[in-house]
Amino acid sequence: MAPRRTLNFIDGDFRTTSSARLFENRSPIDGRIVSMVEEASAEMVDRAVRAAKAALDGPWGRLSLKERCDLLFAVADGIERRFDDFLAAEIADTGKPDVLARAVDIPRGAANFRIFADLVRATPEHYFPQDTPDGAGAINYTVRKPKGVVAVISPWNLPFLLMTWKVAPALACGNTVVAKPSEETPSTAALLGEVMRDAGVPAGVYNVVHGFGPNSTGEFLTRHPLVDAITFTGETRTGEAIMKASAVGVRDISAELGGKNAALVFADCDLDKAVAGTVRSAFTNCGQVCLCTERVYVERPIFDEFVARLKAATEKLTQGHPNAAGVDTGPLISAGHREKVLSYYEIAKADGARVVTGGGIPDLGPDLAGGAWVEPTIWTGLPETSRVIREEIFGPCCHVQPFDTEDEAVRLANDSQYGLATVVWTENLSRAHRVAAKIDVGIAWVNTWNLRDLRTPFGGAKQSGIGREGGQFSLDFYSEIKNVCIKL
């Protein structure tokens, strides 16, 4: 049987052309073809953007706030009704374990629409009374208006969660959207088009175009003159290219980019919690989370014990088919990405690393031999100048290094071009506040990892991005805030 086709969703329906170029969407589990995906041409992207513009000026723009938010709740309900379809699509594209996608990715995708619908309804406008020379006074108040057509470019590691994390607040604020999912993970974005249509969202409000970056769909979308704002999550070099495109026409951009995150483990920590937390922060989703820890700095008195316990805990992780009982670690996203990760495994060996555990490809049997599997890996002994320490790998690996003083730990953590997240493990409350404040990142966790309140700001410093998402911060990006001044 021929693999199914994944089509572009434009102006309320799936569109195809006889001349469409197709590309393969392969499962990272076993390498089989999941679907053939139609790459959107420049003409298709133009149709999507113009459909979004027409909806903005037409039926979507005429809805009241209540009507718009009610539709977003209907979208969330539709996702939950088709939970199993979204779950199957997410697993087929990413290979992540059922237990992870079932508990996190799909529920969060639905929740994003409810959260931002509620938030935009509850957000007050600002009021500023003003004195005037004649004594009569004036009043100023703010009005939020949508930015317009928003290009949403989302990554492959958390495709449904991160795409809805952008689409939901954009629509809640009254914008329309053209979404470009990663070419590695097109399925859930397309499936959401069906849910949008069935929920009664007007045609053109939500559009999906598939393809690649340079000289393809991504470039056609970011350079389109009718796109008013761009939101992107992904690799830093791609973010730089998108930022250059956004400068033409002075379009707003939000970019959450790469990371090389550090964990600091102090001798006064709860060692059980620190080891368990570091296993999570290094190896969740096979290390393919922008927030994952790739650099671990441990105070010298507990260094040897920490490494031994981290090794033992890591070797208890179970790889295998995502639907199998007990599996908690999936493959990398693709054979190409595995080549990249394994190249860093070789660099680590060449630079003199001691391989504590892992370092290669697991033998999971003939059924999974075609998948993008690698072993969770821990190193010690590398110099801070090694590429393994300096560059984002985005795989299930971490390097563990000792430190002697608090100042040294902070210096090591900050010695990076990136600044997304950090974790501090300590039972000393003063140290926790002091160290978290000194590390140059957008997010600092103490004695936990990836504990997220969706009202809080999310984003990075330095080359980890620009702008913030989450709660009110998302609304501020997806809205134009107008001041109205009335002389009394």
Q: Of 290, 292, 397, 398, which one is the catalytic site residue?
A: 290
Residue 69 is among the residues annotated as catalytic for this protein: no
Tell me the CB-side half-sphere exposure of residue 450, using CA atoms within 13 A: 17
Nearest CA-CA partner of 86 in 367, 155, 94: 94
What's the CA gap between 447 and 117, in Å, rounded? Answer: 32
Residues with Cβ < 8 Å from 219, sequence gap 6 or more? 213, 245
Residues forming a β-bridge with 10: 13
Q: How far is CA 386 from CA 265, 339, 353, in A?
A: 21, 19, 10
Residues with Cβ within 8 Å of 478's Cβ and at least 6 positions away in sequence, in order, are: 146, 147, 150, 169, 170, 172, 173, 175, 229
226, 282, 439 from 423: Cα distances, Å: 41, 11, 10
Active-site residue, 256 included: yes
| Annotated catalytic residue, options 38, 90, 183, 256 | 256
Looking only at the bridges linking them, the beta strands covering 13-15 and 8-10 are antiparallel
Torsions phi, psi of 50, nearest 5?
-70, -35
Under a CB-based contact definition with an 8 Å cutoff, are residues 39 and 20 in contact? yes
Task: Give the DSSP per-residue string, 329-397.
Answer: B---S-HHHHHHHHHHHHHHHHTT-EEEE--S-----GGGTTS-----EEEE---TTSHHHHS---SSE
CA 453 and chain centroid, separation:
15
Q: Write out the catalytic residue numbers.
A: 256, 290
